[in-house]
Amino acid sequence: MRLRICTWNVNSVRLRVEQVARFVREQAPDVLCLQEIKCREGEFPVNAFAEMGLPHVRIAGQKGWHGVAIASRLPIEDAPRLDVCREGHARCVGGTVAGVEVHNFYIPAGGDTPDREPNPKFDHKLDFYEKLTAELAKRNPKAPLAVVGDLNVAPGEHDVWNHRYMSKVVSHTPAEVEAFGKLVASLGFIDLPRAQTPEPEKVFSWWSYRAADFRASNRGLRLDHILVTPGLKEAAFRLGSAASRVHDDVRAWERPSDHAPVTADLVL
């Protein structure tokens, strides 16, 4: 059985239901993890998702900002909470689908200044990474578990359009890359989109709205991730190589999110 997991920062789910429906029609994800839904639980368009074939939904919402959700073709069972946000934001939702524990995160962007002291947002971001890494380290690497979402870090030098320039910009600074590395090391996570497309090929999942033509300048970052435990390695590579990709065509649709969806297939 194929389980297609998708992560997508939709940047307002209510403003983007049409695009989500089209993506679901074209790519048929089984588990769709959304970030920046920007609404309360009760404002989430559950009916539209049911019509898309994703009737099972877990939502962590709040007014106006942040907010994450998992919409699934199959029933969603409980999963241990991994909520490590010290500000109490709606940045994490988890569930178990077909025996796979899925944790969906919207990690803080971190503001402009890459320095914990003067910038509490950057401090919050690194604190989030530290707490999450500590929580994950308690878990069993052989258990089937996925950490997905907008992790707001581009970890590798080929995950950014310009490594030297971006090393001074929040999302790719050494402190963040290190924090991301420790998270990956906690359970020996496998980075599926990167396994599919090895370096030095560039892979991006986000392009700023500010560029007139995002394909022309292609100043992208890989901020959206699907990480799985060694317990899912076989399932992820059963077809020989990993089956994972960024759907960058979606970024070119009408009124797009600034993030593209990222998918990975597991064969269970």
Partner DNA sequence: GTGACTGTAG
Partner DNA sequence: CTACAGTCAC
List binding-site positions.
Answer: 9, 36, 150, 152, 258-259
Which residues, including other chains, have CB under 8 Å from residue 17's CB and lie 6 or more apart? Answer: 45, 48
Residues 181-200 within binding reach of DNA (CB under 7 A): none
Q: Specify the stretch interacting with DNA by CB under 7 A; choose among 59-67, 130-138, 188-196, 244-252.
A: 59-67
The sign of the dihedral angle between the CA atoms of 200, 205, 207, 212 is positive
Does residue number 251 form part of the binding site for DNA (CB under 7 A)?
Answer: no
Residue type, 229: T
Which of 164, 212, 213, 240 lies at the binding interface for DNA (CB under 7 A)? 212
Does residue number 253 form part of the binding site for DNA (CB under 7 A)?
Answer: no
- Report the alpha-carbon distance of residue 152 to residue 49 in Å, rounded: 26
Q: Of 127, 150, 159, 224, which is the active-site residue?
A: 150
Residue keyed to tokens 């991301």: 180
- Report the alpha-carbon distance of residue 48 to residue 53 in Å, rounded: 9
Q: Specify the stretch interacting with DNA by CB under 7 A; choose among 49-57, 62-70, 90-98, 196-204.
A: 62-70
Q: In this complex, which beta carbon is closest to DNA, that of residue 193 or of residue 256?
A: 256
Counting every residue written for the chain, the total comes to: 268
Q: Identify which of 1, 64, 79 has the alpha carbon closest to the alpha carbon of residue 33.
A: 79
- Report the alpha-carbon distance of residue 96 to residue 31 in Å, rounded: 10
Does residue number 64 form part of the binding site for DNA (CB under 7 A)?
Answer: yes
Does residue number 176 form part of the binding site for DNA (CB under 7 A)?
Answer: no
Does residue number 217 form part of the binding site for DNA (CB under 7 A)?
Answer: no
Number of residues forming the site for DNA (CB under 7 A): 19
Query: Which residues lie near DNA (CB under 7 A)?
Result: 11-12, 14-15, 38, 63-65, 108-109, 111, 121, 152, 208-210, 212, 255, 258
